[in-house]
Structure 1
Amino acid sequence: MAEHRGKVRSYFVNRLFKKVIFPESDIVGLDLRFEKQRLWLQRAAIAGAVGIILFSTYAWWNSYDNNKTHVDKMDNYVETYCIERNESCIGKTRKLEKADFKGILPALDNLQKAAQIYPTLLRENEDSVPVSMRLGLYQGYQLSPSAHEAYYRVLNKVFLRHIAVYLYNQIAEQLKAGVTDDSEGFLYQNLKVYLMLREEYVKKLDPELLQVWMSDEWEKDFDIHSNDQERLQAHLKALLQSDIIPVKQTELEDRALVDNSRKILLSKERSLQLYWQVKEEAEGVKLSPFSVSSELGEPVTRVFASQRGGDILALEIPGLFTYEGYCGFFKNEVKRVVKDSLEENWVLGLKEQGLMNKTQSKKLTRDIQELYFDEYIKRWKELVYLFEIIRLSDIDTTVRMLDTASIPNSPMRRLLQKVGQNTMLLCESEAEKIANASALDSTLKMGQAVGIATAGSILNRKRRLEAARNKGKKEKDPALMVAEVFEPLFKLVHHDPENETYRKEEFYPILEKLGEVRELLNKPQAEMSWTKRNDAIGDLEGIADQMALHQPVKDWIDYIIDRSKSLINHVVDDRETAAAREKEREEAEAAAKAAIKKAEDEEKDRQKKIADMNKQWQDKVLAEYNKLQEFYPLSEDGKDMPLPSFAKFFGPGGTLDQFFDEHLATYINKAIWRFSDNPLGLSRNLLKSFREAEAIQDGFFPSGSQASVSFYLSAEDLVGTEVEQFSLLLGEQKFEYAFGPTRESKLEWPANGTKIQFMTSSGARVALQQYGEWAWFRILDDEVMPTGNKLVFTTGDAIMECKMRVDSIVNPFYLVHSKVLSSFDLPQRLN
């Protein structure tokens, strides 16, 4: 490149110095401190500007983020709601048949949370909007109204319809199960709450009643937990704070259900329905019951027990049936209930003015009062009649009972006072309460006995009771019917605390005499006498009769009198008859000794007698029997027993008969073979032996002391090849049969030898043959056992059947065959 040879121009440099550097030369300082300050100020300004920019950016971003978070939350809640209640979101509708509070609760919760994201604010009150959500990004004004509107719309269109369906189904189930006296009030209230939700009765809506009713129903539903109950109650509260969209009749088609419910309720006694309603409301108020434990205390157990068993301290009466329950609740509540009932005729489909007159109102009130007072009387009667005096089993128990029963603060007296306090139902005014309180203070200062603390109040009521009785019949207080029933009891313990002490009570003489009986029973037994017994117990009995006590007081006193008499009589009788009893004891001991000696002597005589009898039994009877045991028929394999020996032992007047007549006839009844008396302890085996011996005697000795048996044979059938005739030889006697007419032949035993044979064309065939006097028995025993009265003889194919008949009562042949003779045995000893 060629070198530039031209003239150098200084235009740019010249203008830099003249226009920039030189004009601004004044701002350049030589003071270093000042220059540093200026530099730091410049830096601070820059930093501040940057900070403002960053803060503004952060504030805007924070507002954006907060608003976006709220919008996202609402979007999530709405989306979740749409999932839970898809049909509601897409606009589909269907008829609801069953309430599902637990099912719709998540959807309601989500929509409620969406509505609570932004507070309900007016545009004029922008200061209430958090700063962190401003800067022109706040969305609450647009979203909050829509969320609240959607929430309340769902509360009306969904939640309220579920409540209506729930109440509808409850009424339907109750009608299906049947309406009882106990459930009438429930049906009425259920119908009332249901109708409040209807379009034509929405002006009658009682938000508090609806909340209480549904809260109670949710508490009774085991599927709905306590946390769910609180959430449902919150939704219901929100619903009632909005403009309710009532349920139209066409939505549930409930005309028949409502008409049936009204028809049933109108068929029932109105007063009974309202009375049950009053009782239900009393349970909600939780009136203090009359408790025996708190009102009478532990001392009552020392005097009384419960007739039905159990702890008497556990007995109680509901608070509605006490003086406070009547005056503090029922008296005013019944008027309110009647008034409300007459104003609620719309529930029953009646015109509101239909019963709104004083006459009908008074009649309805009086009917309810009568139901109440009837139950009032019943409950107090049941309680009082359950009290009975504890079991007085001995003097110590009776004394301990009278220790408590006879004092001024006796449980008897206190019970009667409590009966009076709670059955004289004449309510005091506030002025009377103040006056009675003053009288009470003065009475307590006087140091009167326990029990008169309420005397002023009771006396005042007693005076007003007398005044009320003097009024005209039309003005008579219905509460008097209770007082009239129990007056015979509570009048026993009433007195005027201003002028008298409790000693002037009608019941005081009873307590005084109970104390005297207690003193008598508490004395040593030696000091008790008939006179003292008659004085104390007789006086108590006389006073009780004179006062004509009513039940159950009469039963209490009569039982104490009877038991005291019995216990003292026992003590006195024991003491006065001690000598006689001692003499009787000595005589008894002497008689016992004599009886023992007599028994010992008798035992010695018995032992001697049985020993002598055993010796004679063994020497005379057993010795002879042992000799005969080896002979037939006592021994199946033995030789034939000589008939004289057989007759001497078994025959009439023989050895056994003689011994029985001489030694055993006194102790044995031969008719039934039982011991008529057995002081010697004779063996029961002896009865068996002599019973068998009698059977042997009846069979072998039918007509005398010699053994003989008459029997008859007749042929029945003869079969066999070539058999022509049957022959039986019994000693010299002969029985034959040869296929001809049958005839009965008489044979007699004893006979020496027996032979049985069948005749054929070829000669005689001997079937059986035995020798000796017992031959016939041996044949029957060995071969031809008699079956009933039938004998069968056989040899080869030859068979002869005969029928046998015996004259004697006992068949001797059967005795031999059945082993009665061969098994006959005598005991070694008689005892």
Structure 2
Amino acid sequence: VNAGLQFLLTEGEGGKSSVQGVGGTRNCEWWFTRDAVLIDTAGRYATQDSDRDVDAAAWDRFLALLRKTRPRQPVNGVLLTVSVQDLLQRGAPERAEHAVQLRARLHELHAKLGVRAPVYVLVTKADLIGGFNESFEALAKDERDQVWGFTFADDPGGRAEPLAGFEALYGQLQQRLVEQLLERLEGERDVLRRAAIFAFPQEFAALQGVLGEFLRAVFAGGAGLEVVPRVRGVYFTSGTQEGTPIDRVMGALGRSFGIDARSAAVQPGRGKSFFLHRLLTEVVFAERGLGALNPAAERRRRTLRLAALGAMALASLALVAGWAISRSRNLDHAARVAAALPAIKEGIAALPPATSADVAPLALPLARLRDAAQLEGLDLAHPPLLSGLGLYQGDKLDAGARIAYQRVLRKTLEPRVAARLEERLRAATKDNLENAYEALKAYVMLYDPAHFDAEALRAWIGADWDVNYARLAPEQRAALDAHLDALLALGAPRANGARDDALVASVREMLAAYPLEYRVWSRIKRQYRPGTVPDFSVAAAAGPNAAQVFARTSGEPLTRGISGLFTREGHRRVLLPAVRSTAPLLAAEESWVLGARTDGVRLRDAALGTALADKVRRRYYEDYIKVWDAYLADVRLVRLADPERALAVSRLLAAVDSPLAGWIRGVAAETHLVAPPAAAGALGKAAEQAKADAARLAGAAPADSSSGGGPLEKMVDDHFAAYQRMVTGDPPPLAETLKLFGALNAQLMAVDAARKSKSPPPPAAGVEQVKVAAAQQPEAVRGMLDQLADATLNQGRGAELQGLSAELKPIADFCNRAITGRYPFASGSRADVLPEDFGQLFGPGGMLDDFFQRRLAALVDMSTPNWSYRPLADGSRPVAPAALAEFQRAQRIKEVFFRGGGRQPALRIELRLVELEPSLKELDLDVDGQLSRLTTGGPSVTLNWPSARVASVIKLSTGLGQAGPLLLFEGPWALFRLFDRFEVQPGAVPERFGVVMNLEGKRARLEVIAASVYNPFQLREIKQFRCPAA
């Protein structure tokens, strides 16, 4: 059974060897043998007679699965099986239809798989041919395994007829049966079986016609096949010997002679396979290479192979070219490094002697030596690809340069560091014992590898360079820092000279009086690393709106605040543990920094031992207060440069989530170091432990901190108690503080509304109350309240100024129309100021006087010769100083011209002739038709101005009978024009003055007596007055 094949998958003894349903081909059986995989497709795939659409779709999916999994050669061959039963029992139409279906499936195989696979025709169930079993059942196994059939000549090109030679080859098979007939008959004794054996060749021959017709219908060229099938052969097989053999010859003879044909008996027993094993193994499997390849897949494969070969060739060429370029670059690199070495050596040789303490000249020469292998644009750690490829030499050149650099560092930088330390030790004074101690420690460390501490030495040298090389260029300082790091990375220094023991001894003697608590606290400050405890800042405490409200006077950003060391957490987590740990370390340092001679003396001092912890903490709390005082004084409100900014800041400050509230709470929390009762025990234990450690080092009993009026940290709480009170209580005073800012915000809103409506702002009495209340606030809050209150007052004044400007504009416009370019304000003008306009402008209650009294009088200091504004908080002025001077001149004009208090100007003067040319006897003065005769020594004449007539006329004549007046003046200011015509001389008192007349060469002198000490005819305020600008 199983054609003698060995199957890999078997369900137990005698079980199935196939796998049902894989992927989309649910109705296929897959037979896995050691030599090949046989796929037994469902018969409905070929016939598609159950459900055409479903069967066709399943067949297409099956072909797609093959094409996907085996794109190059989907199948090696096709076994096309047709049973003897179908050939002999089906009618010609059925066989023809079946052939058409098989022909279509073969065409689909080629079309969808793209291959012309060899087709092996297996005529199965050959045992149904009459006489088959009787003829072959006696065959041994190896005889049953042979091939019974014929193979056509291979036609890979598909040019020959597929079934060429079918009849001849079939006839040869039949002839072979005839040749073996006598041998088979001789071996059989049963008559019926002998008859069957004898008839078997005829039965086989009878099958030829039907089989040939069927195969030609399937394979013959013509319609339906684009490519001629590659038929390899026709083979007869039998697998199980089931069913009744079909005896066509005997049946035909029986029918001819009227005899009923007897049916051959079914052979009992287990089925045997005939002519299958070698057919499969030696023909079908052996010809697996004949299976055509998919041309498209082959083209892709050839293309990919050619592309791969081309890529390999290009890669090889690129690699060779890359090696050439890399070799050239590395040779060039080495040459450039060699060319730079002489200049580097000269730079090193030109350095000052190593006895100098100046390290600045080392920066550039050492950097050049260190970077000798570094080329511009080349990263030694990550060289370009074309500088590598296995030939890179940059790392080796750099290693050589680094070795030389380290040697030179030892010879140049190290002795200069020692020399600098000696300089600092020689310059050490008792005024800065801390620096002297650290310098001594660093110096001793240079000569004592057992106590070498690279970080401590780096810290000291860095701090010294910060001072000594403060003006050094940043890049040069960075180079020095890099050289120092490289030197310290080499390990303990190898001092090039002997230590100056005398210098060390003198400094140790000086440091004998340096209190230990100062050194402990100094060490704690230096060893604190920023970030260990979060810093306190306005930005963090006040929230996201901090930048809109606060600024720092120093210009520092709000994100930079107080070091975490000076916070509540810093006190708990850093200071107290540090006091406990640092004191023993410093005590241990004394044995080698200060020398063994002072060790016991200092540690046995009870004043420094038993109270050491308290003294260190006291130093800390004193610095705590200084740091916070400076910080609080540096925080202020942002500049309130415009009304919108002031209004926005006040609104934020008065809000429920006021940034000020968050900041105050943060300040109060961070300056409240006395622990609450629940935590006081733990913190107290930490402090007591620190004191006990110090006492233990001194060999004395610890001091009792309970005596002395409470814990030491209370000194911080007491200093900042005002901030803590602000957040204590229900409600806390902070709420009232926010209300003060709310009051300022309300005032600013009212001022803003007044400005927009151009109406007078509200009174600022509430602002003054806020300034009074601000005096009760902590200093920082008081400053902010005062700043915002002043801004509120300024904004109110600004709104008032806006109203003043608007109110002054119509006055200025009228003034310009009434007096500009008119006499007496413009001396040479022929046009006069009208008296009514003059009175409306300058008179009591007139435009200028009314405006001044209502809007400016309260703001002006009129007690000085030149009026000025009273001091304002922001330095602002309601109107410009020049405009204020015009109001002062207007006031003088009012006093001179409006002494009677009326709205119209009024002057009264007396004229008396005191001197006249002898040839003249009198002067005649005609004022609006009223003649007055002036004689020397005669009575005086009283004149009133202005005249009742607007078009006033004044005539002056000598009475000598001239045809007309000697002088004629017209207009409301005619009298002023008369006096302007002649020379006015001051008299003994201001209200008396003389007028010297030159009348056609004849001299006359008048004495004028005015009603005011100010001469109205030469009043300088008239000449200087200009209309005030709006």
TM-score category by the smaller chain?
A: 0.3 to 0.5
TM-score (norm 2): 0.35
Is the helix fraction higher in 1 or 2?
1
| Structure with the greater alpha carbon radius of gyration | 2
